[in-house]
Structure 1
Amino acid sequence: MLNCPRCGQSIQQSAIACPRCRTPLKAHGHPGIVLHRATGAESLCKSCLYDADDTCNYPQRPDARECTMYHDVTIPIVSTPQRYETSPGVWIRRNAGWIALVMLIILSFGLALSRR
């Protein structure tokens, strides 16, 4: 369980706001958007990756105390490589509509030519 940053009340991981003091814990009331808060006197921007590389467009920059985009500059962003499958089954599933259309056209031409 987590604790509320304002009142210290124990709260559930999925809580959107603190049940005791109503402090918002998730950004925009959405459980999937984490709201990062500065704990000390220093703003989040001092240790944020987006402020360091000057890609931050947050209006409260450089004095933001709360931010949804915060990423610690000491923790590298690791991208997971995507696996591409090249088996025929994957290609057939991906292009099933086109395959059906081509087969329908071939069948139509076959029927039209056989009736001559």
Structure 2
Amino acid sequence: MPNCPRCHQPVKAQAVTCPHCRLVLKAHGHPGIPLHRATGKEYLCDSCTYHADDTCTYPQRPFAKECTLYHNRFQPEPELNPRPDTSKSLRLWFDRNLIWLILVGLILLSLLISLSR
């Protein structure tokens, strides 16, 4: 359970505001949009990936103390497209194409029967 940055009381992970000090914890009142805050006198832009590669369009840049787009450039990038498990993908392919496999099997079986006569 995370702590509130202002009062340091434990709050639920999906809480929009702190129940103790009423600090806004999530952006735009939505529990799925995290609101990143700078600590102390430093700005978020100093360590942000988007500021470093000059793709940030945030109006408070380079003096943002709160941001919804922040990503720390010193932390490793999460893998967005992990390699799928081969057996799962093969099973999924068979499930999607089962009717075609049965149809091709029946055609091959009928050809085998007709050629054997």
Tell me the CA shift for residue 26 of structure 1: 1.2
CA–CA distance in structure 2, aligned partners of residues 12 and 90 of structure 1: 37
Shift in CA distance, 93/38, structure 1 to aligned 2, threshold 3 Å: same
Structure 2 unaligned blocks of 5 or more: 104-117
CA–CA distance in structure 2, aligned partners of residues 60 and 95 of structure 1: 52
CA–CA distance in structure 1, aligned partners of residues 13 and 91 of structure 2: 41
Tell me the CA shift for residue 16 of structure 1: 1.3
User: In structure 1, what residue type is equivalent to 2:71?
Assistant: H
Percent identity reads 56
TM-align CA RMSD? 2.8
Q: What SS does the aligned partner of 1:60 have?
A: coil
Q: Which position in structure 2 is the counterpart of 1:51?
A: 51
Match of 1:93 among 87, 92, 95: 95
Tell me the CA shift for residue 15 of structure 1: 1.5
Tell me the CA shift for residue 85 of structure 1: 4.1
Off by >6 Å, runs of 4+ in structure 1: none
Q: What SS does the aligned partner of 2:28 have?
A: helix
CA–CA distance in structure 1, aligned partners of residues 23 and 90 of structure 2: 53
Residue correspondences, number: 102
Q: Which position in structure 1 is the counterpart of 2:83?
A: 82
TM-score after normalising by structure 1 = 0.68
User: In structure 1, what residue type is equivalent to 2:61?
Assistant: R
Describe the superposition over 1:46-86 as per-residue Cα deviations: whole angstroms up to 9, x where unpaired. 11011001111112111111111111111121324332648
Shift in CA distance, 15/89, structure 1 to aligned 2, threshold 3 Å: closer
